[in-house]
Amino acid sequence: MQRPISIATKNVELHVHALVHAYPLLHRLCLRHSNPGKIFADSSQTITFCKCDTLVRAEKLSRDIQRAGLFPSPESFNLTSHSTYNKMADPYTATRQDFTTHLTHTNIPPDANATFKQYAESHQTLLTALMQHPAMAPNLQQTYMTPANSKNKIYFMWDFVGRTLGLIVQFDPTRNPARGPKKAIWNDVVNRTVMTKTLLAEDDTSKLETMLEAQYPDQRGRHPDIGDEVLAAARALP
């Protein structure tokens, strides 16, 4: 028997299905990635990871859950039969460059809803800029599931933006996603977009660097410049 579970970490929510025996592993993952490491499950089987202090931890948690084989990635959900997005490449054989190209070349029809088009096109532009950033070069020809050669802030934002775009392009492009049956998932898209724009274009407190250093201490003092192309693309987000 499968139960619907919603895993929420701050503004990032993954809608998944899990077997009952998966709970012990989820608990261990939470203890490893949360601060203070407390979880609770309510009667609707919603598991909330309390006080997760960094977005880096949230993304790393989602990757660990996927690697554990418990859940499909959020990009694999069949949200609508009218989506512009057909099939994700195999993460164990396709490179990060392949994944980026697959997402950024997803066709947006001429009659696309204005909201959908704005989010899809701006994220495609940003993901392309992140892929072309020199700091991503050491990671591009690795397969998607291979640990990155350089876990720098450009790589992290590429990963985060790619996941957001993977959600966007699965909506029916001709309808307003904010009013459709998957409004909760679209709210996640909006929240992720705000977070992306804040970290790349509006934060002057080095929050992104601080979060990254907390997870990967070897990055301290080695942060690449964001660059004009990435900055402009981030500012153009909705």
Break the chain into its structural domains and give their ranges: 2-72, 96-235
Q: Which of the pair, 161 or 39, is modelled with greater confidence?
A: 161
**DSSP E strand stretches across 20-140:** 39-41, 46-49
Give the mean model confidence (pLDDT) for residues 134-147: 97
- Tens of pLDDT, residues 171-195: 999 999 999 889 999 999 999 999 9
Share of the chain above pLDDT 70, in %: 63
Task: Average the pLDDT over each of 115-124, 185-194, 214-223 and give the range with the smallest value.
Answer: 214-223
Alpha-carbon gap, residue 67 to 50, rounded angstroms:
22
DSSP reduced 3-state for 93: coil
**Is 70 exceeded by the pLDDT of residue 4?**
no
pLDDT score at 79? 36
Give the mean model confidence (pLDDT) for residues 153-179: 96
Q: Which of the pair, 141 or 34, is modelled with greater confidence?
A: 141
Q: Which tokens in the block code for residue 36?
A: 């203070």
First to last CA, the chain: 40
**Is 90 exceeded by the pLDDT of residue 68?**
no
Global pTM value: 0.68
pLDDT score at 89? 73
- Tens of pLDDT, residues 7-34: 333 333 333 333 223 333 333 343 344 3
Alpha-carbon gap, residue 37 to 52, rounded angstroms:
8
DSSP 112: -
Q: Rounded to the nearest 5 degrees, what angle is found at the Cα of 114, between the Cα atoms of 203 and 59?
A: 40
**Is 50 exceeded by the pLDDT of residue 228?**
yes
